[in-house]
Amino acid sequence: MIKDGMTVMVGGFLGVGSPIKLLDQLVENGVKDLNVIANDTAYPEVGLGKLITNHQVKTLTATHIGTNNNTIDQMNSGELKVTLQPQGTLAEQIRAAGAGLGGILTQTGLGTVVENGKQKVTVDGKEYLLEKPVRADVAIIGANICDEEGNLVYKGTSQNFCPMMATAADIVIVEPQEIVPTGSIAPENVKTPGIFVDFIIK
């Protein structure tokens, strides 16, 4: 379902919470010219880092790339177009897309290169950057536990970006570590309701 040139959100932080096997399959399939939205590109041989290393990504929106030299090299050579966003801003942009908002207002980035080309809005005498919603064709995320209806549980910090990404893409594919019968997860423990999940990778 992930084709050349698509915009793809990838959950996780340095590989934690990422759909590792699904990313490996994308490397094997050779899909190319992807527009990726992710917190980071992990390490050269881990998760999303493998797609970068294999030159399958055309554009990247992320919050940092310092742990993957291949990302840095491709950015510096002009092969990979990288847009760096403050971490909280990117998270809110994705959340805004999922919530149907027209954007968010933030002071983070004012007076830096982050503000270049962006609209500014004044509210009660204070200036803000208007950061627009960020959506994707497909979101691929990891989860610790998934029931047969797609309700998801994340443990510890592994939910990195995954819950909000699940709300902001046309197709959502989850790679859980464990699949349990529907009804096994207490409703109050569900972080991503199954209505957001389209496909489960066993």
Which neighbouring-strand residues pair with 173? 140, 199
**Final residue of a domain: which of 96, 131, 166?**
131
- CA gap 137, 171 in Å, rounded: 6
Q: Tell whether 162 and 142 lie within a shared domain.
A: yes
Pairing of strands 57-62, 34-38: parallel
Number of domains in the chain: 2
Given this model, what pLDDT does residue 15 score? 86
Is residue 20 over pLDDT 90? yes
Q: Tell whether 93 and 76 lie within a shared domain.
A: no
Domain CATH code at residue 23: 3.40.1080.10
pTM here is 0.94
In which domain, by residue range, is 121 found? 87-131
- CA gap 202, 199 in Å, rounded: 10
- The dihedral over CA atoms of 67, 71, 73, 79, expressed in degrees to the nearest 10, equals -170
Q: Measured between alpha carbons, how far is residue 178 from residues 75, 90, 147, 186, 187 in Å?
A: 37, 29, 8, 15, 17
Q: Tell whether 14 and 43 lie within a shared domain.
A: yes
Q: Tell whether 56 and 127 lie within a shared domain.
A: no
Given this model, what pLDDT does residue 167 score? 98
Given this model, what pLDDT does residue 157 score? 86
pLDDT bin (cut points 50, 70, 90) of residue 202 is: confident
Per-residue pLDDT of 67-116, as tens digits, reads: 999 999 999 999 999 999 999 999 999 999 999 999 999 999 999 988 99
| Cα-Cα-Cα-Cα dihedral sign, residues 181, 182, 186, 188 | positive
Q: Measured between alpha carbons, how far is residue 156 from residues 20, 63, 71 in Å?
A: 18, 21, 28
Which neighbouring-strand residues pair with 159? none
Q: Tell whether 154 and 194 lie within a shared domain.
A: yes
Compute the average pLDDT of residues 155-164.
92
Per-residue pLDDT of 123-133, as tens digits, reads: 999 999 999 99
Percent of the chain's residues with pLDDT above 70: 100
Given this model, what pLDDT does residue 55 score? 97
Compute the average pLDDT of residues 11-24.
93
Provide the mean pLDDT of the chain. Answer: 96
Is residue 191 over pLDDT 90? yes
Sequence-distant (6+) residues with CB within 8 A of 190 are 151, 152, 153
